Amino acid sequence: DARGLGFSDGAVTTPPGWAEAYRGLTEMGWNSPTADPEHGGMGLPMAVNACIQEMFNGANAAFQLCPLLTQGAIEALEAYASDDLKHTYLSRMVSGEWTGTMNLTEPQAGSDLAAIRSKAVPEGDHYRISGQKIFITYGEHDLTGNIIHLVLARLPDAPAGVKGISLFVVPKVLVGADGSLGARNDVRCVSIEHKLGIHASPTCTLAFGDDGGAIGHLVGEPNRGLEYMFAMMNNARLNIGLQGIGIAENATQHAVAYAMDRKQGTPPAGSSAATIIGHPDVRRMLGLMATRTEAARILAYRAAAALDIARRAPDPADRARAQRRVDLLIPVVKGWSTELSVQTASLGVQVHGGMGYVEETGAAQHLRDARITTIYEGTTGIQALDLVGRKILRDRGLAAGELVAEMRATAALLAGQGGAAADWPRLAAGVTGAADLVEALTAWLLAQNGAEPQAAAVCVLEAFGSALGAWSMGDAALAAVARMDAGRDTGFAAAKLRRVRFYFDHVLPMADALARVATAGAAATLELEPGDLAGAA
């Protein structure tokens, strides 16, 4: 993070130790755990990959972005590329010998990909690609001998808008028929960004075709490139949600360790200086950090498991139901998890006090690194519009209704527990209230016309996150008491129950407040005029 990147003559130099770390990762196969074994991958389920991604992102988000983007490129090629393209590229990308990128954004085309201008002109058995792409993660680096760019561009006769975008594979170095590397392709890095965080991850501006056109090959059918990219989007957004969770977990662990070591002040029940974890407000901040991260983790793992069922269940009805669950949860996982990652990292700085504001403790890096997670792969606002428009309104609340039924089933199980150790009636009432909230917000959205759902969307998303987090923590309480009843891990399980109670008292009430803002505040948002927001007296 402190060393950052070198850049000269279009070449990026990664920090010392980066190449060794990358080599170690690829030698163990952790760079592409979900890839098809036919191409050298492990073929692991997404549920297992979710755990892997969280841990590696928690260790170093800037480093993990390289294999993460390559995984996305691998998935796109596995799903849509011709057999020849698969044969040429996949095994070496899966092994980590080559990496991959996703090239969507252009200076005038950020969230609005209909504005893409990059061109692809047919020439024999390939295409000549020209245009500029920005914000390309690991678009240039010194870790591998080749970088395989997946590029969105337009054919000469393409329809306007999103229906005229095709997908092309464009290698940094051309690959011969025998698999050998040939001449450098007409693609170069013209600059790298100087960013708030993830300093060691190169964010590149790439120029395609400045010297005649970069050679590329069409992936799948013409004019279906955006469709192919969006088919991969659930995985990408899940992985960024997991990145946020990993950073939040790292920030929490650092803050807890500091609070257990730093002596300052006298706690209420003490008579001499003690470690700051004894102060109630410090413990409150740490409780928020730990429990929100835990709830987000459970929800993300649930989304990953639903992805596996949607892909592999033998019953088509089960696959369809699981896909509805994936579609509903992914924007919440991406949007809510990354927003709470920023909040968690900010609390980590606060726990450190003045030392959190200086770089040597590492607390500031967590905050800087987390900040991008709410922006790339679709901002929180984009996730919220996706949740409200494409997921809830489009299916008239079907997936949300299925989810509410499962939440009520969890509440019934909580209500049926005996003993007072976890305050079961209160937890059952909390999950019931969370289910009521999701149901009521869904009904409110379905009853609206005009722009109100869009104005309320982010508050709806965050309310869903807090409510679904309570459902997840309720199931965690049931799992914990099952371990206690079996006489296993009673210390771990008892700590789990205390964290669950904290979440229900400190986080779940925020869902009600957010729901009130969503339903009552949308009109006030729409009433604001641009002039009301600038130079207000």
Q: Give the residue numbers annotated as catalytic, written as ranges.
A: 377
**216: closest CA among 125, 131, 133, 146?**
125
Buried/exposed code over 459-481 (b: 16+ C-beta within 10 A; e: otherwise): bbbbbbbbbbbbbbbbbbbbebb
Gyration radius (Cα) of the chain, Å: 24
SS3 152: strand
> CB of 429 within 8 A of CB of 471?
no
- Report the amino acid identity of residue 33: P
**103: closest CA among 221, 21, 214?**
214
98-103 and 146-153: which strand pairing? parallel
CA distance 282 to 299: 26
* Residue that the structure tokens 């392709």 belong to: 185
> CB of 144 within 8 A of CB of 97?
yes
Taking every pair of C-alpha atoms in the chain, what is the biggest distance, in angstroms? Answer: 83
- Kindly list the distances between the CA atom of residue 218 and the CA atoms of 85, 104, 188, 236, 481, in Å, as whole numbers in the listed order: 9, 15, 20, 22, 54
- Give 112: exposed, middle or buried? Use CB within 10 Å, 0-12, 13-18, 19+: exposed
CA distance 298 to 310: 18
